[in-house]
Amino acid sequence: MKLLLFLFLITLFFFSCTTSASTYQHPLDPLNPSEFKLVRGIVQKTYEASPPSLTFQYIGLDEPDKALVLSWQSSNAKTKAKTLPPRRALVIARFKKHSLEITVDLSKRSIVSTKVYTGQGFPMMTFDEQDFVSALPFKYQPFIESVHKRGLNISHVVCTTASVGWYGEIKSNRTLKLQCFYTQGSSNLFARPLQGITVVADLDERKIVEYFDRFNIPVPKAEGTEYVATKQKPPFGPTLMGAAFVQPNGPGFKIDGHSISWANWEFHVGYDIRAGPMISLASIYDLQQQRYRRVLYRGYISEFFVPYMDPTENWYFKTFLDSGEFGLGQSIVSLEPLADCPANAAYLDAYFAGEDGVPVKIGNAICVFEKYAGDIMWRHTELELHDEIREVRPQVSLVVRSVSTVGNYDYIIDWEFKPSGSIKMGVGLTGILGMKGTSYTHVDQIKEDAFGTLLADNTIGVHHDHYLTYHLDLDIDGEANSFVKTNLETVRVRDQSSPRKSYWTVVPETAKTEADARINLGLKASELAIVNPNKQTKAGNKMGYRLVPGTVAHPLLLTDDYPQIRGAFTNYNVFVTPYNKSEKWAGGLYADQSRGEDTLAVWSLRNRCIENKDIVLWHTVGIHHVPCQEDYPIMPTLSGGFELRPTNFFERNPVLKSKRPKLVRFPKCNSQP
Amino acid sequence: MKLLLFLFLITLFFFSCTTSASTYQHPLDPLNPSEFKLVRGIVQKTYEASPPSLTFQYIGLDEPDKALVLSWQSSNAKTKAKTLPPRRALVIARFKKHSLEITVDLSKRSIVSTKVYTGQGFPMMTFDEQDFVSALPFKYQPFIESVHKRGLNISHVVCTTASVGWYGEIKSNRTLKLQCFYTQGSSNLFARPLQGITVVADLDERKIVEYFDRFNIPVPKAEGTEYVATKQKPPFGPTLMGAAFVQPNGPGFKIDGHSISWANWEFHVGYDIRAGPMISLASIYDLQQQRYRRVLYRGYISEFFVPYMDPTENWYFKTFLDSGEFGLGQSIVSLEPLADCPANAAYLDAYFAGEDGVPVKIGNAICVFEKYAGDIMWRHTELELHDEIREVRPQVSLVVRSVSTVGNYDYIIDWEFKPSGSIKMGVGLTGILGMKGTSYTHVDQIKEDAFGTLLADNTIGVHHDHYLTYHLDLDIDGEANSFVKTNLETVRVRDQSSPRKSYWTVVPETAKTEADARINLGLKASELAIVNPNKQTKAGNKMGYRLVPGTVAHPLLLTDDYPQIRGAFTNYNVFVTPYNKSEKWAGGLYADQSRGEDTLAVWSLRNRCIENKDIVLWHTVGIHHVPCQEDYPIMPTLSGGFELRPTNFFERNPVLKSKRPKLVRFPKCNSQP
């Protein structure tokens, strides 16, 4: 009987495994827990190995060919399930100090290809291996002595990891550097670095391979560093009043698996351990054409370059590629309802595979909410007619949000969809600054470059940059698109035809090849758009979407400096490339210790034709950050972003005939919440 | 008996007049209706004239000297009413074709000074005189014939006004041009211009002084131009769901007259017929110093330059100064509750004087509301410690909003105060485009410059710019301030001290004179701040506020072109001047037909010392506008703006100890609203 039950349970387990492994509805759905388990089983069985001898550095969806996805999308509802493209996973594993690229077919339950990567650079670091090596110093005698020498209690020391970058070394091992902090008396470890110590750990060997204790600088005091509410002392303030938000007829969006529909939009929200949220197949309903029209095939943050500006021994290497080295998806943190997202938000969970292939759940990884910010979608008051006319439409938009906490920094990543057709990408920088210890306690003591701002006693907030490079595979009403720069140029009136001496006009210029589309913004008055040269409005304007840039920064590192060679994809604010399935990561697939051989900047040098082709727009949001005292001990959010805005995509204002939502004054409530 | 009653009523009238005329609480309160009546009475009596022989072009508060206002502010509550500076009104009247500047003392009920203005340019145009001359064509036979010739019904024609600018004329009369539109079958008159007709009216003579009918172009059809909801035909959409907003413990702000306090902010909201809302004496409470600290003495939109880019006869002159010619305050429209502002808004009325001096009320002219947009004030998730820490503070801010509708365009003007110390100025452009008639119906027909975008049959949206120049009299913790450019400069590492070849560092540069502070943004990595050089943080950083620019545009007109001579205050994105009570209007006090002799650009040429002085920051938000079909027949809001953000103004994050507002899920409601 017991045996029978056991067999039954085993059967059930396999059955449920099989079932759930195939329960994806959309070809771009992220891998689900059952699929991770299946991949894990297949790979571990094939290699007869598990961590630490075989580690999964990356498991993600091996994206089906775009043609297959599009043909699936256009198939009718009945046959849709049957036209789902084959489901494959891409595995990057570390095995015997090699990086393996393994493609697993999930329906066939087998490995379909394996490649040993022989180029430069290493795959993303897992949380597990970082945790492992972070614990090594505490068993490493020289480190213990260094802590003692500083008069600190080692039980309050915590070490975190930093990628090492590349500085011209010919041979590289897969290493990282450990950064240690003191935690006694404050939760804000990043404000209290132990400076002067270099600990290099080998991630494949899982041991400390280099150690120096060069100098001793006071660890900043705990006082004034705390940010946890329960540990604060009065006076408190400022006081902000509470509020509640009610949607009497429910939210306007529907979530079906990973597909979201709202107002005139539909799109898919995927997730990847490296990229974080990925928005796919975003289409907008055209009231006039009575159909959905595709805008964005796929959009995500491709790389995120954060170079610090301190060239000294303890800091020079801090030139992070937060996506390729640490994983913006792996770093996503659970969102707190009513604080990270408003009361009317819905939440999606996310799953990634640990280094052992076991799925790890991030609850409330992504939230989706309708934003009622009090903005105005459009309006006009007309006083020239007999009766005054006043027509106002309040703005409502849909936000998809996640927060990635990469060590000290918290990055708020918003995708905002507007009924008027705009997609706004928002980036919020908050969390804790990268700070270094110093002997200074007053600016007057500083006689040479301190590489940052003195924020408090013994504490410098180091100068740095943030460059978020977005991959935006726009498909304006189809794949064949062109990139058009509409330059605004001054025309001098040379005859007597006008009392004016000048005006400006537009000179459109279609980019033929990639070289035409490498652009530094802000130097020239110009509108940049992706258009469909084969589709025009009734009046004959080419249908398109334009890039409305927000915060723009140009790199200040020398282009031949090592970090900038690796981060060369930020050399221009805009690139356009022909669609190429393999050109996904602007800093290269193997970004850790990369040497800049596989970046967007290198791909673009092939100078391929981009006219009337399936093209990808790459845009970098850049922020130079000079820390200030307000950023201490925790930073008020600093915001940036940009907008993709329809330009002659519609025949007219697409929200002209949108009725005003019932924005009611107050619901009838008989008690306070 | 009747006589007695009459005397009694007369007495009552004077008494109530006296009482209400003095019921201002704050020296910067705008003039109230009783005060307008008082001014009117005094001036009309003195000149023994009323419209049209004497017209009030401007009546506003004659600002008390800054020192008096500050000394009033710092006086104690008991003596405050007594230290109110003398109350004076500035009148600009048009009398016998002269512009008079009359200062009226309201407490003494007398004129204290009169000046006849002899320079170039004319005062703001009143609504009344514009209305008057707009009706003239309908009694003017040549115009009636022009309308007939076009086969139009004159009862559906409406004429609006346009300022004429200045194009090198030596002698100028006070004229304007009339623009006529056809209204049959659509509320959207601006989409249906009667092109080819020039009507020039003299505002002093109140008659048509020039008339041409040069050519006939089809008036665009009514079809597709309507924007009024009740006149739309299906299909409707997209559908946006309704919502309600509840603050269980009430709003967090208090309005006392024109003074507003909220969270850690207090400030005064004034109003002026020309400027619109004026924000004064904005101070923020410093939790550490336990006192309010002044940030902004006075901020408002000083001028608003809107040049169109069509040099042909019917359009070349359209180079508007919307503030100085039309009045952003006069053009404020009543806000619609639940649409222009959310449910939790409070409203302020505004009053201006008509040309006869009689007060005109704008109900709901300004709204004030707490904005809960779902943003995050600051956050951090800490995974490196034993127990996960997650601290999140949602963002709440306070918005002061008005909308000025200047003819076709609606300008949404927001002042947003954040508890973290930032003040964000938001500008939204919506309403109707400036459109011209054309014979074109398809882009392929256009063989020469059309000066705009073909939006529909016979309709071109004309290229143009918007430049909003803000007057920002920052007083960072006192009047004596300096302007510091912190340039980010690349440093080349020339020795072997670092594996890095470069980094950037900051090179601060204090502007000595006005020439050092004329800045075009975007060309150089730089942070711009107003600091108090006499106040520093404990660590020794100078306390300041920095300008975080948003949308920036550089003028494309030639600097010696007439419109740009008048709009020369936009030649730089930033100017800094020493405080000078008379330097209020960037385009000059007499902006209509001005010749650029009294602009910010001219004042700045004096190259005065601005170091450690009471200084004013001028910042221009610029937008080049290439119309697109989505802007037709009414424009989805296009947004711009900038931020003033504390930088080392506080010792630390000023919202570190702000408790999380009670953002409740849903109130208990027993019925739907």
Question: What would the pLDDT profile of B55-66 be if each residue is shown by its tens digit?
Answer: 999 999 999 999
CB-based contact B380 A540, cutoff 8 Å: no
Our CA angle for A570, A575, A578, nearest 5°, is 135
Nearest CA in chain A to B454: A539
Q: Is residue A299's pLDDT more than 90?
A: yes
What value does the mean pLDDT take over residues B329-343?
A: 96
- Cα(B380)–Cα(A227) distance, integer angstroms: 9
Q: Give residue-wise pLDDT tens across range A115-174.
A: 999 999 999 999 999 999 999 999 999 999 999 999 999 999 999 999 999 999 999 999
CB B312 within 8 A of CB B318: no
Q: In whole angstroms, how large is the CA radius of gyration of chain B? A: 27
Residue-level pLDDT at B670: 47
CB B237 within 8 A of CB B249: no
Can you list the positions of beta strands (E) in A442-501? 452-456, 459-462, 464-474, 480-492
Q: Give residue-wise pLDDT tens across range A406-463.
A: 999 999 999 999 999 999 999 999 999 999 999 999 999 999 999 999 999 999 999 9
Residue with tokens 């950037």: B504
Q: Is residue B671's pLDDT more than 60?
A: no
- Interface probe with A: pick from B186, B287, B362, B379, most Cβ of A within 10 Å: B379
Band the pLDDT of A667: cuts 50, 70, 90: low
- Judged by a CB distance cut-off of 8 A, whether residue A451 touches chain B is yes
Tokens of B528: 């711009």
- Cα(B668)–Cα(A242) distance, integer angstroms: 15
Residues in chain A: 673
Residue-level pLDDT at A20: 41
- In angstroms, the first-to-last Cα distance of chain B is 56
Q: Is residue A673's pLDDT more than 70?
A: no
User: How many residue contacts between A and B have a Cβ separation below 8 Å?
Assistant: 617
Residue-level pLDDT at B21: 45
What value does the mean pLDDT take over residues A589-614?
A: 98
CB A623 within 8 A of CB A549: no
CB-based contact A564 B662, cutoff 8 Å: no
Chain B window 258-317: which residues touch A at a Cβ cutoff of 8 Å? 263-264, 285, 287, 290, 309-313, 316-317
Q: What SS3 class is residue A562?
A: helix
CB B360 within 8 A of CB B351: yes
A322 is catalytic: yes
Band the pLDDT of B81: cuts 50, 70, 90: confident
Chain B residues touching residue A645 (CB < 8 angstroms)? 630
CB-based contact B522 A523, cutoff 8 Å: yes
- Cα(A273)–Cα(A209) distance, integer angstroms: 28
Kindly provide the ipTM of the predicted complex, given to two decimals. 0.95
Band the pLDDT of B82: cuts 50, 70, 90: confident
Our CA angle for B44, B46, B51, nearest 5°, is 30
Segment (H or E) for A559: none
Q: Is residue A361's pLDDT more than 70?
A: yes
ω before A52 within 30° of 0 (cis)? yes
A5: left (phi over 0), alpha (psi -120 to 50) or beta: alpha
**Higher pLDDT, residue A182 or A666:** A182
CB A511 within 8 A of CB A611: yes
Average pLDDT, chain A: 94
Q: Is residue B3's pLDDT more than 90?
A: no
- Cα(A35)–Cα(A23) distance, integer angstroms: 9
Residue B635 pairs with which residues in a beta bridge?
B431
- Judged by a CB distance cut-off of 8 A, whether residue A381 touches chain B is yes
Which residue, among B312, B435, B466, B638, has the nearest Cα to A539 in the 3D structure? B435
CB-based contact B241 A264, cutoff 8 Å: no
- Cα(B275)–Cα(A611) distance, integer angstroms: 48
Sheet holding B207-213, edge to edge: B157-163, B175-182, B197-202, B207-213
Band the pLDDT of B673: cuts 50, 70, 90: very low
Q: Give residue-wise pLDDT tens across range A309-356.
A: 999 999 999 999 999 999 999 999 999 999 999 999 999 999 999 999
CB-based contact A443 B381, cutoff 8 Å: no
Average pLDDT, chain B: 94
Q: Which of B399, B418, B667 sits opposite A672 (nearest CB)?
A: B667
Residue by residue, DSSP assigns A139-181 as G-HHHHHHHHHTT--GGGEEEEEEE---SS-SS--SEEEEEEE
Our CA angle for A50, A53, A59, nearest 5°, is 60
CB-based contact B563 A537, cutoff 8 Å: no
Q: Residue A599 gets which letter from DSSP?
A: S
Q: Which long-range contacts (CB under 8 A, 24 or more apart) does A78-86 make?
A: A84/A24, A84/A27, A85/A27
Distance of CA A336 to the CA centre of its chain: 19
Q: Give residue-wise pLDDT tens across range B270-302.
A: 999 999 999 999 999 999 999 999 999 999 999
Chain B residues touching residue A248 (CB < 8 angstroms)? 242-244, 672-673
CB B205 within 8 A of CB B633: no
Q: What SS3 class is residue A347?
A: strand
- Cα(B201)–Cα(B321) distance, integer angstroms: 19
What value does the mean pLDDT take over residues B359-388?
A: 96
Residue-level pLDDT at A79: 85
Tokens of A656: 């002209």
Farthest-apart Cα atoms in chain B, separation: 105
The catalytic position among B272, B322, B473, B592 is: B322
Residue-level pLDDT at B662: 80
The catalytic position among A322, A592, A598, A614 is: A322
Tokens of A386: 């007999």
Residue-level pLDDT at A669: 55
- Judged by a CB distance cut-off of 8 A, whether residue A556 touches chain B is yes
Residue-level pLDDT at A313: 94
Residue with tokens 């413990």: B249
Nearest CA in chain A to B167: A499
- In angstroms, the first-to-last Cα distance of chain A is 55
The CA-based dihedral angle spanning residues B96, B102, B104, B110, taken in that order and rounded to the nearest 10 degrees: -60
Residue-level pLDDT at A665: 63
CB-based contact B486 A626, cutoff 8 Å: yes
Tokens of B527: 């942070």
Q: Give residue-wise pLDDT tens across range B460-488.
A: 999 999 999 999 999 999 999 999 999 99
- Cα(B387)–Cα(B389) distance, integer angstroms: 6
Segment (H or E) for B366: strand B359-371
Band the pLDDT of A21: cuts 50, 70, 90: very low
Residues 6+ apart with CB under 8 A from A12: none
A185: left (phi over 0), alpha (psi -120 to 50) or beta: left
Percent of chain B with pLDDT over 70: 95
CB A304 within 8 A of CB A571: no
Segment (H or E) for B458: none
Nearest CA in chain A to B499: A167
Q: Give residue-wise pLDDT tens across range A62-114.
A: 999 999 999 999 998 888 888 899 999 999 999 999 999 999 999 999 999 99
Q: Is residue B663's pLDDT more than 80?
A: no
Residue-level pLDDT at B209: 98
Chain B residues touching residue A454 (CB < 8 angstroms)? 539-541
- Cα(A289)–Cα(B382) distance, integer angstroms: 50
Band the pLDDT of A668: cuts 50, 70, 90: low
- Judged by a CB distance cut-off of 8 A, whether residue A671 touches chain B is yes
CB-based contact A385 B183, cutoff 8 Å: yes
- Judged by a CB distance cut-off of 8 A, whether residue A456 touches chain B is yes
Residue-level pLDDT at A77: 84
B322 is catalytic: yes
- Cα(B317)–Cα(B319) distance, integer angstroms: 6
CB-based contact B647 A630, cutoff 8 Å: yes
Chain A residues touching residue B310 (CB < 8 angstroms)? 503
Distance of CA A119 to the CA centre of its chain: 25
The catalytic position among A58, A271, A347, A409 is: A409
Q: What domains can be seen in chain A, in order of their start residue?
A: 2-117 (3.10.450.40), 127-231 (3.10.450.40), 253-647 (2.70.98.20)
Chain B residues touching residue A444 (CB < 8 angstroms)? 540
Which residue, among B414, B415, B413, B372, has the nearest Cα to B394 in the 3D structure? B372
Distance from CA of B38 to the nearest CA of A (A): 29
Q: Give residue-wise pLDDT tens across range B185-218.
A: 999 999 999 999 999 999 999 999 999 999 999 9
Q: Which of A238, A242, A561 sits opposite B264 (nearest CB)?
A: A238
Q: Which of A420, A490, A539 sits opposite B443 (nearest CB)?
A: A539
- Interface probe with A: pick from B492, B503, B530, most Cβ of A within 10 Å: B503
Tokens of A466: 């943030």
Q: Are strands B243-246 and A663-664 parallel, antiparallel or unpaired?
A: parallel
Q: Give residue-wise pLDDT tens across range B549-589.
A: 998 899 999 999 999 999 999 999 999 999 999 999 999 99
- Cα(A505)–Cα(A502) distance, integer angstroms: 10
Other Cβ atoms less than 10 A from the Cβ of B85: the count is 15
Tokens of B279: 């924000």
- Spell out the SS3 assignment of B119-159: CCCECCCCHHHHHHHHCHHHHCHHHHHHHHHCCCCHHHEEE
